[in-house]
Chains A and B, each alone.
Chain A
Amino acid sequence: MLFSFPFVALALYTNRVGFLSDSHALVLAKALLAADRGRLEVIGFVYPPLPFLLATVWPSAWTVSLLSGITAGATAWLLWYDLRRTELPLVVQTLLLASVVLVPNVLFLATQSLPEMLALHLVLVAWHYFLNFVRLGHTWSGFTAGLVLGLAFFASFYAIVFALAFAVSSPIYSHLRADGEDRSPQADVARMMVIVFPALWSLASWSYLNWVFTGDPLRFLTDPVTPVLIPAAGTGSVVGAVVWSARQTLRELLLQPLFFAVAGLNVQRRRRLIIAFVSMPLILVTIRAAGFAYGELLALGTYSLVALAGIPRRVSRLGSIVLVVVALLQVVTSSTLTTRHPWLADWRNAVTLGQITVEARSERALAARLAQAPPHSILADDRVAYRVIARAGTARPFLLPTDAAFTSALDRPREQVAYLLVASRAVHPADEVSRRFAERPPDGFLLDGALAGYALFRRVDAPALLGQP
C-alpha cells in the first residue's frame, strides 16, 4: 500500500483535474456499457478484457485510476524487493528505484494506462516465478509462472510473446544448472509446455469467445480501437519491416542507459541472466516486424523493469557509482519524451499546472450534455465515441453496436433514436454512424451542435442538447 500511495495520489489528482487518457477512456466506456446493459458480451469488442473486467466492478474514472495506481505500486514493491536483495547501499537502491518509477513515461503508464501497467506487473511476477522454476526446479513456481502469464494474456497480448520467450529460454537455463536436473529433450519440451500452456490456452479461449460473440475468432487482433496487429509504419517488405522495427527499438534503447549498464554488470557476474538482456530487444524487433503494436512507453517500461530486476546481488563500488550515474542519465533522457509526444505533454501540463486542454474541456462539456439524454436515444459508435461515453459516466443514453437495435437504427434512425453522434473531423472507416451521416444527416434530423470534434444531430422533434431548442 505504501508503494501504491504516490501513484494512486497522482492518478486521482490527474483525474480530478480532468485528464483522461485514451487507454482509460476505452476501458471505462466498455465497463460502463457492460454495467448498463447487464451483459458482458461487450467484451467481445474490447481487448484486453482484464482491466475492463476489473473496472466493471465499479465503473468510474476513479476506479480505473485507483486500480492503475495500485498495480503500479505493487510493481514498484516487487522491484524494491529485488533491489533489497542486492548488497547495494540503501541510498543507491532508493535512487535506482526512483530513477525508474518516478520518471514521466513510467508515471504515465502507472497512472494512465491500466492495461499496460497490469501486463508489466504480471509479466514481472511471472519472471520471478520463472527464475525459481529454472533455477531451483520448483514445479510450483513453473506452475505459477505459467498461470500468471496466462492471466497476463487478458491484460496484454504480449504475454504470449513473453510466455514463448520464457518457454524457449527455459531449456537454456536448465542446462546451465549445475545439479542433476534432467536435460533430456523430453524434459526440455515438458518445461516449455508448463510455461507456455496457460497463455496459449488463454489465447484459444479468447479467440473462441470472439468467434462466439462476433463470428471472427481473431477480431481482437484487428479491433479498430485497440489493434494488436498493425502494419509496421513505412514498410513494404519483410526486410523493411525489420529495419524499421530495429530502428525504433534502437531509439528506445538509447533512452535506457540503465539497461545497458545492468547488462554489462551481468556479463561480469551472472552470465546466464544476460540471455534476458539480449533477447528482450530482439523480441521487440521481431514482434514489431511481424506487425504487432508494442507501444513505446510499454517498451521503455519493459526495459526498465528488466534492468532493475536484473541487478546482480553483488556490485562493486565502481559498479554502484556507474549505476547511480546512468540512473540519473536515464532520468534526463526519459524527460525528453514528454516533448516528443503531445499527449504526454498534455498529461505533464495536467500534472504540473493542473490544466487540461481546451479540447478536453469541450469533450467534458459535451459528455455532460449527452448524459442528460433519454436512454438509448443517441445513436453512436463506441469505437469512436468511447471518450465521450467515458466522460459522460454512463452508457445509458447511447445506442451502440453491441445493442440489438443498432443495425435497424442505422437504417431507420428516425424511428429508433432522437440523436446521432458523429465524428466531425476524420471519419474512422469502422465507425458506421459517422460514415453514413457525417456528411449529411438523415431525413428528419438537424444539427444540434458541434463540440470537441463531434457533431450531434437531433431529430426535429427532439429537445436540443447542445444548442437552443
Chain B
Amino acid sequence: MIGCTAQPLASGAAPAADRCPVAFWRRRPLTRVADGRQRLMTNLAKTSSAAVSPRQASETRARLGEALVQRGLLHPDELERALELQRRTGDRLGRILIALGLVRRWQLYQVLAELWGYPFVDLLHQPVDKRLARRFDPELLVAERFVPVRWEDGDVLVATSEPPSPALAEYIRGVLGPVEIKPAVTTDWDIDYAIRQSFREALLDRATMGLYYRNPSESARTVFTRWQLGALVTLGLGIAAGLYLATTATLIALVALVNVGFLANVLFRFVVSMAGAQFEHVQAISGEEVAALRDDELPTYTILVPVYREANVIGDLIENLRRLDYPSSKLEILLLLEEDDEETAAAARAARPPETVTFVTVPNGEPKTKPKACNVGLFFAKGEYLTIYDAEDRPEPDQLKKAVIAFRKGPPELVCVQAALNYYNATENVLTRMFTLEYSYWFDYILPGLDHLRLPIPLGGTSNHFRTELLRQLGGWDPFNVTEDADLGLRAAAEGYKVGVINSTTYEEANSRYGNWIRQRSRWIKGYMQTFLVHTRNPVKLVRSSGWRNLFGFVMLVGGTPLTFLCVPILWALYVAWLLARSSIGQALFPPAVLYISLFNLLIGNGLMIYLSMLAVFKRRLYSLIPFALLHPLYWMLHSIAAYRALWQLLTRPFYWEKTLHGLSRYATSTTHPGQPGEPAA
C-alpha cells in the first residue's frame, strides 16, 4: 500500500521522486475535515497550481508518451502528432490521445497506473460497495474523479482517475475516520459508472426533485396552486354568472378582452421583430473573432445529447458532432440514454462513437422527460460550458466557439446564449415549409429582438449554451415542465441572470407529418401553460424581480401564445358565422371600438404576421418559401388544434412528454452541410 503526492494529470505534472514518499498517506494527520468538499477543492486547486512546473509537465508527457510507445500502444509519429496538438491546445496528453482515438481509454489508464505505481481496477467487473460509496457526496466524487471501492481488511480501496493527493486522503479520512487508504487507478468512465450504480436512486431523486426541493414554487410539479385554482374557478363562475344575468354584455366584454389581447400581442410581436430585424446586419460575433480564438484558450465544453427511442439517428448524431470546430480533447459529449431504451443504447454502441462520447444511463422513473435526462447529464458534466443538442441536430461548426466568445464578451451574469434553430428539410412538404417560416421568424427576429430590448428570452429546445456552474446554481431544468427550456430562460431572467443570443444556427429536422407535428406542438403549448402558471404563482414577487416591462413581455409571449391559439377558432367561427348570416347578433357583439380592433387584428395583424415571416425566410435566402407565408392562417389553425390538446393534457396528464419522432425526413441523412436547406439524399 503506497501513497504519493502526485499532481493531477490535468496539469500535466509528474510526481517528483523527492515529493512522493512511500506511504505518504499513512503519515498524514487524521484530522476530520469540517467542510470536506470545499476544503478538498481548495486544497486540490492549490496542489495543482502551485507545484507544477513546465519541466515537470514535460516529464510527465514524456513518461506517459514514452510508456505508451514502449508498450506498443502508440506509434512515435502518433505521439508527435499528439504532442503537437497539446502544444496548440494546452490540453492533457492523455485526453488528446483518447480524443484522437490513438489509445483506448482503459489502456491509457493502465499505463498511468503503472507510472503512478498503483494497481489498476476495473469497476465494471469489481462492483463498488454501495453502502461505502454512499457515505460520500456524489457531486464531489464526480468532481474529484474518485470512488471508494470496498473495505479490504480494515483499509479502504479507493479508485481514482487522477493522481492521488494528500488532500484527497485527508478528505476520505474525514468521512470514514482513521483508515488506511489503498489507492487504485481506474478510468474516468469507470468512476462515473460506479457513481451511477451506487447512487441510482439519489441521482433519480436529484434529477427529478432537485428543483422542487430547492424551491417548490419554481417547479411545475404542482400544476395549479390553491389561489390559481381558486382564481380560475372564480373566473369561470363569474363568466357563467355574467352569461346568465347579462348575456350580451358579458359576451361583448369577452370578445373585447380577447381582441385587445390579440392587438397587444400583434403590436408586441411587431415591435420585438422590428428590434430584432434592425440589427440583422450587425454580427454579434464576427468570423474574425472566431478565427482569432486560440485552441489553448478554449475551455472544456460539455454537450448533452438526450436521446430516447432514436436508434435511427444515432449514426447521424455522431457524424454531426464530429463536424464541430472545437478541439475534440476539450469536448465532453454525454449521450443520455434512458435505462429502458435498449434499442437506442445498442444502436449507439454499434455506431462505435469516438471515446469523447460518454454513455450516461438515465435511471428509469417518472416523469420520463428530457429535462430529467439533462439534469442527470448536468450532474456528470465537467465542462466549463454546456450545451444541449438533439440527436438529429446539425449545429454550424463554429457554434461552440461563438458561444465561448459570447460568454467572454458578456457580463458575468450571462448564464446562457441561445443559437438560432432552423431546418434542413425546409422544402420537404408544406408543413416543413410552414415550420421553417415560423422558426426563421422566431429565432431570427423575435429572439434577437427580445435580446435587444432586454426582455426575458424563452429558450429554444436545443443549442442553448450555458455556463455550467451558473446553470447548477439555477437548479437545472424542471423535469415536470415539458418546455423546460422556456421555463429555464424565464427563471434565469427572474433571478437576475441574463440570456442572450448568438448568430449561429443549428439545423434540425422539421416535423414532416401532421400527427407528429400536433403532438410536438401540443407539448410545447402545454409547456408554455405550465411555465405561465409557475411564474405567476407569486405575482408580487414576479413584478419585483422582473419589473413591469419584463412582466409584459413574459405575459405576451408565454401567456399570450397559448391563449391566442385557444381563442383563434372562436373568433374565426364568429367571423364566418357573421359572413354567412350577417346576423344582428354578430353585430351586437362588436360595438364600434371592438369592431375596429377586431378589424385591425384581422387585416393588419394577420398581414403583419404574414409579412414578418416572409421577411424572415427572405433573410435566410429561402426564397421558395415566401409564397407559403400566405398560408399562415391555416397553419395557425393547426396550432389551435394543438392548443386544445395541450389544455386537455394539462388537466389530465400534465407531465406527459409527447415524444416527437425524429428521423422521418427523407433529408435526414447528414449529407447536407449546415447553412443550406437540405436536398433529398440520393
Chain A contact residues, CB within 8 Å of chain B: 38-41, 136, 138-140, 142-143, 146-147, 150, 182, 184, 186-187, 189-191, 193-194, 197-198, 201-202, 205, 208-209
Contacts and interface: CB of A to CB of B under 8 A. Distances in A.
Contacts of A201: 603, 607, 610-611
Contact of B614 (A39, A41, A197): A197
Contact of A209 (B281, B599, B607): B599
Contacts of B619: 139
A216 B101 CA distance: 76
B611 A40 contact: no
A40 B596 CA distance: 8
B592 interface: yes
Chain B: interface secondary structure? Answer: helix
B618 A190 contact: yes
B621 A187 contact: yes
Contacts of B143: none
Interface in B608-626: 610-611, 614-615, 618-619, 621, 623-624, 626
Nearest to A138: B281
Interface in B254-304: 277-278, 280-281
Nearest to B273: A143
B411 interface: no
Interface string B559-600: 000000000000000000000000000000000100010010
A187 B620 CA distance: 11
Contacts of B614: 193-194, 197
Contact of A190 (B277, B281, B626): B626
Interface of B: 277-278, 280-281, 592, 596, 599, 603-604, 607, 610-611, 614-615, 618-619, 621, 623-624, 626-627
Contact of B592 (A38, A150, A205): A38
A159 to B, nearest CB: 15
Nearest to B619: A139
Contact of B603 (A146, A147, A205): A205
A39 B592 contact: yes
Given A138-B281, A198-B607, A209-B603, 11 more contacts: A41-B592, A136-B281, A140-B278, A140-B280, A143-B615, A187-B623, A193-B626, A194-B614, A194-B618, A197-B614, A205-B604
A205 B618 contact: no
A141 B514 CA distance: 35
A143 B445 CA distance: 12
Which of B596, B623, B624, B626 has most chain A Cβ within 10 Å?
B623
Contacts, number: 61
B65 to A, nearest CB: 47
B607 A139 contact: no
A139 to B, nearest CB: 4
Contacts of B626: 189-190, 193-194
B299 to A, nearest CB: 35
Which of A146, A193, A209 has most chain B Cβ within 10 Å?
A193
A13 B627 CA distance: 51
B581 to A, nearest CB: 14
A40 B624 contact: no
A190 B623 contact: yes
A38 B596 CA distance: 12
A242 to B, nearest CB: 34
A154 to B, nearest CB: 10
B623 A143 contact: no
B623 A139 contact: no
B611 A139 contact: no
B609 to A, nearest CB: 11
A424 to B, nearest CB: 36
A198 B280 contact: no
A180 B618 CA distance: 16
Contacts of A202: 607
A41 B587 CA distance: 13
B603 A208 contact: yes
Contacts of A187: 621, 623
Given A187-B621, A190-B623, A193-B626, A139 B615 contact: yes
17 contacts: A140-B280, A146-B611, A150-B607, A182-B623, A186-B623, A186-B624, A189-B623, A190-B623, A191-B618, A193-B627, A194-B614, A197-B614, A198-B607, A201-B611, A205-B603, A208-B603, A209-B599
B621 A182 contact: yes
Contacts of A190: 618, 623, 626
Contacts of A143: 277, 611, 615
Contacts of A41: 592
A46 to B, nearest CB: 15
A202 B610 CA distance: 13
A249 to B, nearest CB: 33
Given A38-B592, A140-B277, A205-B604, A198 B621 contact: no
Contacts of A142: 615, 618
A138 B281 CA distance: 7
A187 B611 CA distance: 16
Contact of B611 (A140, A147, A184): A147
Contacts of B624: 186
Contacts of B603: 201, 205, 208-209
Contacts of B621: 182, 187
A191 B615 CA distance: 10
A204 to B, nearest CB: 8
Which of A39, A40, A140 has most chain B Cβ within 10 Å?
A140
Nearest to A209: B599
B280 A139 contact: yes
A213 to B, nearest CB: 10
Nearest to A191: B618
Contacts of A139: 277, 280, 615, 618-619
Contacts of B611: 143, 146-147, 197-198, 201
Contacts of B599: 209
Nearest to A193: B626
A147 to B, nearest CB: 7
Contacts of A146: 611
A194 B520 CA distance: 31
A182 B623 CA distance: 10
A142 B281 CA distance: 13
Nearest to B625: A190
A353 to B, nearest CB: 44
Contacts of B607: 150, 198, 201-202, 205
A202 B608 CA distance: 11
B600 to A, nearest CB: 10
Rank and list the top 4 A-B pairs by shortest CB-CB distance, nearest first.
A190-B623, A205-B603, A201-B607, A139-B619
Contacts of A208: 603
A143 B629 CA distance: 15
B287 to A, nearest CB: 16
A27 to B, nearest CB: 19
Contacts of A150: 607
Nearest to A192: B626
A194 B616 CA distance: 11
B641 to A, nearest CB: 26
A104 to B, nearest CB: 37
A208 B606 CA distance: 14
Contacts of B277: 139-140, 143
A190 B607 CA distance: 17
Contacts of A140: 277-278, 280-281
Nearest to B582: A212
A94 to B, nearest CB: 32
Contacts of A193: 614, 626-627
A205 B610 CA distance: 14
Contact of B615 (A40, A189, A194): A194
A202 B611 CA distance: 12
Which of A190, A198, A202 has most chain B Cβ within 10 Å?
A190
Nearest to B624: A186
A201 B633 CA distance: 14
Contacts of A205: 603-604, 607
Nearest to B281: A138
Contacts of B281: 136, 138, 140
